Amino acid sequence: MGFETSPFGKADGSNVDGTVVNHYGEREVGGFKGGEAPSAGAEKEISVNFDGSSTGVKVKVPLGAIVTEIVDFFTGSISAATVGAQDISAANGAVANYVTVTTAADLTVTGPTAGTAVVKYLYVV
């Protein structure tokens, strides 16, 4: 492949143009915008973004998951953090406060007015 060994550009700019070469395929636009973060292994994260009108996110937490921590990057305080009807707000990273999810249900976090809440949990398929 010639482009790998050829010099990039000449001093006068005669061989440089504004085109993008997608030799290995198209690039994906965007990225992670909230919800369950892609991950490998047992440790998982769900990100909930708040814009003042958000009351929850439609992401199911699986049955048997163990909620380990809710990390706060937000303004205000959490008034409720639940998976279905089960309260998970006590999960603070200490092993004694881990919460085992007893039914697969949607995660709901309410209270903050801006920022992001990250719910960390363990789940092995």
Query: Structure tokens of 30?
Result: 């965007």
Q: How many domains does the chain have?
A: 1
Does some domain include residue 55?
Answer: yes
The residue with tokens 């309260």 is 87
CB contact set of 98 (below 8 Å; sequence gap of 6+) = 66, 67, 68, 91
Does some domain include residue 14?
Answer: no
pLDDT in tens, 78-94: 888 999 899 999 999 99
Does some domain include residue 20?
Answer: no
For range 33-56, the mean pLDDT = 69
How far does the chain reach from its first CA to its final CA, in angstroms?
43
Does some domain include residue 102?
Answer: yes
Structural domain of 93: 33-122
Question: CA-based angle 67:81:107, to the nearest 5?
Answer: 70
Does some domain include residue 99?
Answer: yes
Q: Could you tell me the CATH number of the domain that includes residue 75?
A: 2.60.120
89 near 114, Cβ under 8 Å? Answer: no
Query: Structure tokens of 124?
Result: 């092995």
Does some domain include residue 4?
Answer: no
pLDDT in tens, 45-79: 888 877 755 555 578 888 999 999 998 888 888 88
d(C-alpha 29, C-alpha 35), whole Å: 17
Does some domain include residue 81?
Answer: yes
Percent of the chain at pLDDT exceeding 70: 63
Does some domain include residue 115?
Answer: yes
Average pLDDT across the chain, whole number = 77
CA distances from 112 to 10, 63, 77 (A): 54, 26, 5
